[in-house]
Amino acid sequence: MLWIGMYIALASLVCILAMVAELVHGFRSRMLWFPSKYFSINSASLTVISVAMKLPVDLTGSMPGYVDQMAKLGSMAFMCTMMANLLPSLGTMESNELLSNLAAVSVQVITLVVNVCIQMQTGAVSISTHKEDPRIIQLTSPTHISTHPNPVLPFIYVVLFVFLLIVYICSSLAILKD
């Protein structure tokens, strides 16, 4: 399990470094937008993003601990950030490349949304609403799964994923060239 965590952390670090490089490049060239030089939608970036999104789409483990739940929610926030930063790269693509990358992003986002919805329904992703500190509950009962799920934050992320996907699709339709 340690190697998987290191693998996910490395993939996330690569995405973060690419987004920071875009930010620095944009500020240095005095652009009011993030150029798509280092972090754009292509097969390599989509592979790294799918590795970084392993935690929220993992249906095999309940991950009941407080830190585990925060890792899942943090991964979902990270995916929203990456989708927002990848949006300007749509304008630099040709029609065929745009359609294939949009299809890949759509499959990835729909898979993420469905898995998070399944986890919200089963209570695998939630925030504990107990009055006690959830970390203490985890230490005293490592097999504890919250019986009081609070799916508000994961629901907000699901809505944001769907909204960003709609923005991607509408932008792609506007950008398509004959």
Q: What is the DSSP string of 107-133?
A: HHHHHHHHHHHHHHHHTSS-----SS-
Q: How confident is the model at residue 163 (pLDDT cuts 50, 70, 90)?
A: very high
> What is the predicted pLDDT for the residue at 57?
72
> What is the predicted pLDDT for the residue at 124?
72
> What is the predicted pLDDT for the residue at 140?
46
Note the residue count of the chain. 178
The highest-confidence range among 26-40, 55-69, 140-154, by mean pLDDT, is: 26-40
Q: CA–CA separation, 149 vs 121, rounded Å?
A: 9
Query: Helices 66-86 and 2-28: crossing angle, nearest 10°?
Result: 30
119-148 pLDDT, tens digit per residue, is 888 777 765 444 445 554 555 454 544 444
**Residue ranges covered by each domain of the chain:** 2-175
User: Residue 26, exposed/middle/buried by CB under 10 A (0-12, 13-18, 19+)?
Assistant: middle
User: Residue 7: which residues within 8 A CB-CB, separation 6 or more?
Assistant: 51
